[in-house]
Amino acid sequence: MDIQITANIRNELLLRNEVEFTLTFDGATPSRKEIIGKLGALLDANEEKMALDSIKTHYGSRVGKGLARIYDTPEARARTEREYLVARGQPKAEAEE
């Protein structure tokens, strides 16, 4: 999996960087957790401060375009990010019996 940053725009009002990237991969589309981990390592950012918005791939293609947001603090992410986007890619809690 290879990630190239195509745009990195600073949004001071919401205390975040808005990152557009191109993803090249072999096989199946990587999971959101893998993409966040690789993007965090590439940009030296903590996963608690990141939110992966979208990944778009064309049928049969090994290239995708994505959008992620990297916040200054986890509190800033919690304040502005939609809960379902934060919950995506997280391990599911085991059902209590």
Measure Cα distances from 61 to 7, 21, 27, 57, 66 in Å.
22, 16, 10, 7, 14
Please give the single-letter amino acid code of residue 69.
R
- Domains of the chain, by residue range, sit at 2-87
Between CA 87 and CA 62 the distance in angstroms is 26
In tens, the pLDDT along 5-61 reads 999 999 999 999 999 999 999 988 899 999 999 999 999 999 899 999 999 998 889
CATH fourth-level superfamily of 2-87: RRM (RNA recognition motif) domain (3.30.70.330)
DSSP assignment letter at 58: -
- pTM for the model stands at 0.83
Give 52-88 pLDDT, tens digit per residue.
Answer: 999 999 888 999 999 999 999 999 999 998 888 888 8
pLDDT over 70 (residue 3):
yes
